[in-house]
Homo-oligomer: A and B are copies of this chain.
Amino acid sequence: MRHALAASAAVLAFAAATSARAEEGMWTFDNFPIARANQTLGVNIDQAFLDRVRLSSVKFGGCSAGLISAEGLVMTNNHCVATCVANLSTQETNYAETGFTPRTREEERKCPGGSAEILTGIEDVTERMHKAGEGPNGEELAGVAFTRARDAEASRIESEACGDATDKRCQVVSLYRGGQFKLYTYKKYSDVRLAWAPEDRAATFGGDLDNFSFPRFAIDAAFIRLYENGVPAVTPTHFTWKADKPVEGQPVFVSGSPGATQRLLTMDQLASVRDVVLPMDQLIASELRGRLIRYSEEGERQAFEAMDPIVSLENTYKRGLGRMRALTDPGFMQMKAGAEADFLQRYAAANASGATGPWGDLTTLQPTLRELYPAMALLEGGTSLGTTPVAGGSQLFSWARTLVRAAQERPKASADRLPEYADSRLAAVQTGLFAERPVYPQLEQVRVEWWLSKTREWLTVDDPRVRTLLGNESPEGLSARMIEGTRLADPAVRRALWEGGLAAIEASDDPLIQFVLKMQEPSRAVRTEWEEKVQAPTDRASEALAAARFAAYGDSVYPDATGTLRLTYGKVEGTDVPGQRWGAFTTFGGLWDRATGAQPFVVAPKLLAAKDRIPADTVLNMAVSSDTIGGSSGSPVITAQGEIVGANFDSTVLTQRNAYGYDRNVNRSVIVTTGAVTAALRDVYGMTGLLAELGVR
């Protein structure tokens, strides 16, 4: 089976989902269904359009963005620059509160650790990657050997293609869950500066309550600028700014990097997500949310520190809630089951009677996955399934882990390392580690205490790994001792430890470094067991499933989202289903009406002051039927003529089923319009320089 798959890899670009229909699909740029999109939308795009869109599309952290001038100006969402804004702010000069409004380019400020990328090339490396999964005599590798051999080959390919270049990044991308591998090459910008951000409350009006919903009233847009050699990057290829009032039914394309979908999972895999992954992730996230909310109420400093973390956590949590609802929605699950039954029937017809092939293999794996998930998520993180942040997302812990692991891994040959420390990835590791970021120790302690406490609870107090972590200490005592004692907040200390290597790490008396050193044995063991018993066999079975899907359904399929550039399309329109009935647009007038005067429904002061200058019927947000998901945030929304008309910033809570399948009736992306952004720049924040750069008036 696997060899047949390897042989047909070249055509697998068309082989991963049951046939996609209408607006469905997050398509790769080298397999975009031009004809179908033209027919569905009544437009006439071609390869030149695709190339221009690709080269105007920017990946910025976990977000998407689009070039809007020839001088490196980029529009994304305000929530995509929230960390940058927080890092540039102090409690006294809080740009989240005031907005960030540089009058000249000299006042634009570099986002600490920020970088941006543009996809410049796609190359097929499927054959090479599949071959790497074989042993020296052509036998199939298994378990960790398989995982590591594949990882090492990917890193080799990346190194060969990008070498030591600092303005490029190479990435081997697994598509169709291993059915296909592509080498993506990016032009990389390591100097990204904040060019404009509105008042945070103008962008987050309605807060968590309005998040993942429509009608919506949020100017969730911000500008960054790409710099090269200290000056704005030269970017002749970019979208054209178009701020006209949008019309219902207008065809649009959305170009961005959706994070992850799980549409190709079998029903048994989805059941594990529903029964084990989502409940644990959501339950413990909810407790962290409670701790952070109460923390934020303890004083102004705490409120300032916790704002960004709460927003981010609530976003993840609400998305998870939408997914729980999808996986427990009898109608939706029946649809998924129907699709699987059809696939299985075709498979059975083509294979030995009674064979369950890759489905059976995946079913067999689920009890092990269910058993191992909590430890993997809590101690190691980084599964493609869950969202639980190791150490509660503590920045100090993350640095400590990077330092300890890099010190342990760097002496090895690149191919023998944990893949995230392979040669081709070390530059990014260092960038993250050396970035100057503010650290809030009390908040860090809340995070670490929560994490230790939940790890002890879920793995149980008698688990030997928990005993290794805690010794005779309590989560409260240990987290306080580590966070009070660590000196890792100082970049010079981090740099010295990095440069000192393993000797410096082992000699360090930093309590956080010592802790992370101590937890390496249990943590690495959990990861090895996961890779051996869950990840590798899942990868194998998923590749077989990809081949079977191709055999059953032929072409016209798209791969699951993987955080890489995709193009999707749709129409500007509202919805008309129970629980979600509304038109396509909201206006500034609607915003004024919705303001109660109590948070989160207070209009930001500068925005409110401009009330009389903005026509009440100016469109603020709109809904489109395109197929997006987390990671699509900031995606440019463009016409068939390459004009940018908005930035995707959200979808509705019903749309969260999108992780598992596209539903034309309910799936809506939420867009902030260029018209609203223009009004904000002109009437609220006085950004005349930027308006001139965009060619407005």
Contact = CB atoms under 8 A, between A and B. Distances in A.
A91 interface: no
A297 B446 CA distance: 10
A569 to B, nearest CB: 30
Contact of A284 (B274, B286, B600): B286
A509 interface: no
A387 to B, nearest CB: 14
A36 B546 CA distance: 58
Which of A206, A213, A283 has its CB near the most chain B CB atoms (within 10 A)? A283
Given A279-B324, A294-B290, A328-B276, A472 B597 contact: yes
Given A295-B294, A461-B209, A477 B598 contact: yes
Interface in A468-502: 470, 472-474, 476-477
Contacts of A597: 472
A295 B290 CA distance: 10
Given A287-B287, A474-B599, A456 B209 contact: yes
Interface in A263-302: 274-276, 279, 282-284, 286-295, 297-298
Contact of A596 (B210, B284, B472): B472
A214 to B, nearest CB: 11
Nearest to A207: B461
Contacts of A298: 298
A436 interface: no
A476 B324 CA distance: 28
Contacts of A321: 283
A472 B297 CA distance: 20
A286 B290 contact: yes
Interface in A429-465: 446, 450, 456-457, 460-461
A288 B596 CA distance: 26
Interface residues of A, number: 44
A208 interface: yes
Contacts of A209: 456-457, 460-461
A196 to B, nearest CB: 29
Given A210-B461, A324-B279, A456-B209, A294 B598 contact: no
Given A283-B283, A287-B286, A599-B474, A275 B446 contact: no
A450 B289 CA distance: 12
Contacts of A472: 596-598
Nearest to A278: B279
Contacts of A470: 598
Nearest to A324: B279
Contacts of A287: 286-287, 289-290, 293
A400 B354 CA distance: 65
A473 B598 contact: yes
A464 B597 CA distance: 18
Contacts of A284: 286
A462 B495 CA distance: 51
Contacts of A295: 294
A682 to B, nearest CB: 30
Contacts of A293: 287, 290-291
Contacts of A599: 474, 476
Nearest to A314: B457
A468 to B, nearest CB: 14
Contacts of A596: 472
A449 to B, nearest CB: 9
Contacts of A474: 598-600
Nearest to A450: B290
Contacts of A292: 290
Which of A473, A477, A596 has its CB near the most chain B CB atoms (within 10 A)? A596
Contacts of A289: 287, 290
Nearest to A598: B474
Contact of A291 (B290, B324, B457, B600): B290
Interface string A143-171: 00000000000000000000000000000
Contacts of A276: 328
Nearest to A290: B290
A299 to B, nearest CB: 11
Interface string A324-342: 1000100000000000000
Nearest to A600: B474
A399 B600 CA distance: 30
A291 B289 CA distance: 8
Contact of A446 (B210, B279, B294): B294
Contacts of A206: 461
Nearest to A327: B275
Contacts of A282: 279, 283
Interface string A575-608: 0000000000000000000001111100000000
Contacts of A208: 457
Nearest to A477: B598
Contacts of A476: 297, 599
Contacts of A598: 470, 472-474, 477
Interface string A103-118: 0000000000000000
A485 to B, nearest CB: 17
A314 to B, nearest CB: 9
Contact of A290 (B279, B288, B457, B477): B288
Contacts of A274: 328
A457 B597 CA distance: 18
A270 B206 CA distance: 36
A419 to B, nearest CB: 32
5 contacts: A287-B287, A290-B293, A472-B597, A473-B598, A477-B598
Given A291-B294, A474-B599, 19 more contacts: A209-B461, A210-B461, A274-B328, A276-B328, A279-B279, A283-B286, A283-B321, A284-B286, A286-B287, A287-B290, A287-B293, A289-B290, A290-B291, A290-B294, A294-B294, A294-B446, A297-B476, A472-B596, A473-B598
Q: Which 6 A-B pairs have the closest CB atoms?
A: A290-B290, A275-B328, A294-B294, A287-B290, A474-B598, A286-B286
